[in-house]
Homo-oligomer: A and B are copies of this chain.
Amino acid sequence: MTKKSADPANGSAPAARQVPMRDFSRSLPMSLLRAREAVMRQFRPSLREHGLTEQQWRILRALAAIEAVEVTELARTAFLLGPSLSRILRDLEARNLIERKTAKADQRRSMVSISKEGVKLMASVAPTSEAIYAEITRRFGARKLAELQEMLGELERSLAGLGGADETIAGE
């Protein structure tokens, strides 16, 4: 439906096909990207209806399970970089979905926690979110889903310590 046949109605054909590489669309990064997008596409509309982005939702979920965390620890949990988290927390705080207060022992640290309003918002989103997740599980198969997650974890572990660049290993 999408691709027509060749369209040779063009003059000079510029350079191409010089560099042999794996078929681009089958590279691992692309597979992972497409799979994740296919999954997130299911959730985004529902989140959007509640005025939340994917990352904001991640943060609220991470906060819902604990009393309070430091920003750095939250960044690890929600898998966000510091600067992104910093901005998002500023916004979530302005919307009264989270609360922040500096730690007593160390003035540098700030402890973040979800607010009552935040909990309320989560309660209104969670059912739909869980339903979507259930449907995905149903379609793909619970067994296969578990297998997939296991493989993803293995992949992650097998690449740990192969840090692309400044690894700052002991003895450096």
A42-B164, A135-B162 known; A79+B37 contact, CB < 8 A: yes
Residues in chain B near residue A131, CB distance under 8 A: none
Contact of A119 among B18, B156, B164 (CB under 8 A): B18
Q: Is A163 an interface residue (CB 8 A)?
A: yes
Q: Which residue on B lies nearest to A32, using beta carbons?
A: B36
Q: Is the interface of A mostly helix, strand, loop or mixed?
A: helix
Bound-state Cα–Cα, A22 to B22, Å? 38
Residues in chain B near residue A94, CB distance under 8 A: none
* Size category, A interface: 35 or more
Bound-state Cα–Cα, A103 to B4, Å? 15
Asked whether, in the complex, the Cβ of B35 is within 8 Å of the Cβ of A104, the reply is no
Residues in chain B near residue A84, CB distance under 8 A: none
Q: Is A65 an interface residue (CB 8 A)?
A: yes
Interface residues of A in 67-98 (CB under 8 A from B): 67-68, 73, 76-77, 79
Please give the distance in Å from A68's CB to the nearest CB on chain B. 6
Asked whether, in the complex, the Cβ of B164 is within 8 Å of the Cβ of A43, the reply is yes
Asked whether, in the complex, the Cβ of B159 is within 8 Å of the Cβ of A19, the reply is no
Beyond A28-B145, A41-B159, 13 additional pairs, beta carbon < 8 A: A14-B67, A17-B64, A21-B130, A22-B130, A24-B65, A24-B77, A28-B149, A31-B148, A32-B36, A34-B152, A43-B164, A46-B164, A144-B154
